[in-house]
Structure 1
Amino acid sequence: MTTTELWCDRCGEPASAAHPGCAAARQLEPPRFCPQCRRRMKVQVLPVGWSALCVEHGEMRG
């Protein structure tokens, strides 16, 4: 199954627009919005990484 990102995972705006600030912050921060449905995710930052949970699409880890 292929996933198409429709939304920016940092600010929640359409991914087709330019997001230079989001691209820079993405290097250091976990995603805050689900890229598939634009819902705000529950994010937990740990010393060894992060996990983000979307109620619709499940968990992502990094």
Structure 2
Amino acid sequence: MSAAVGTYCDRCGQADPADAAAHAGCRAARELEPPRYCTHCRRRMKVQVVPTGWTASCVEHGSLSS
């Protein structure tokens, strides 16, 4: 599953730069783990991992799931 498009990186929470190399490590890590930050508001999300997948919830923007 690829990272959602937004203003912020969904793994580290930093502004997602136009330079793709700056977040290459984040994109590689997201292949195996769920997002940690909301891409719209940069809030830390509540994440639950279960054997069949994951869910991540932002209090402002709702839920994502695998």
TM-score (norm 2): 0.84
Is 1:44 equivalent to 2:48 in the alignment?
Answer: yes
Q: Name structure 1 gaps, 5 residues minimum.
A: none
CA distance in 1, matches of 2:49, 2:13: 19
User: Which one has a larger percent helix, Structure 1 or Structure 2?
Assistant: 2
Structure 2 residue identity aligned to 1:42: K
Is 1:7 equivalent to 2:8 in the alignment?
Answer: yes
Distance 1:20 1:4, change over 3 A: closer
Q: Name structure 2 gaps, 5 residues minimum.
A: none
Identity %: 60
| 2:34 matched residue in structure 1 | 30
* 1:59 aligned residue (50, 57, 63): 63
TM-score (norm 1): 0.90
**Matched pairs, number:** 60
Structure 1 runs of 4+ off > 2 angstroms?
none
Deviation at 1:54, TM superposition (A): 0.1
Distance 1:23 1:54, change over 3 A: same
Deviation at 1:27, TM superposition (A): 0.1
CA distance in 2, matches of 1:33, 1:26: 12
Across the aligned residues of Structure 1 and Structure 2, the Cα RMSD in angstroms comes to 1.5
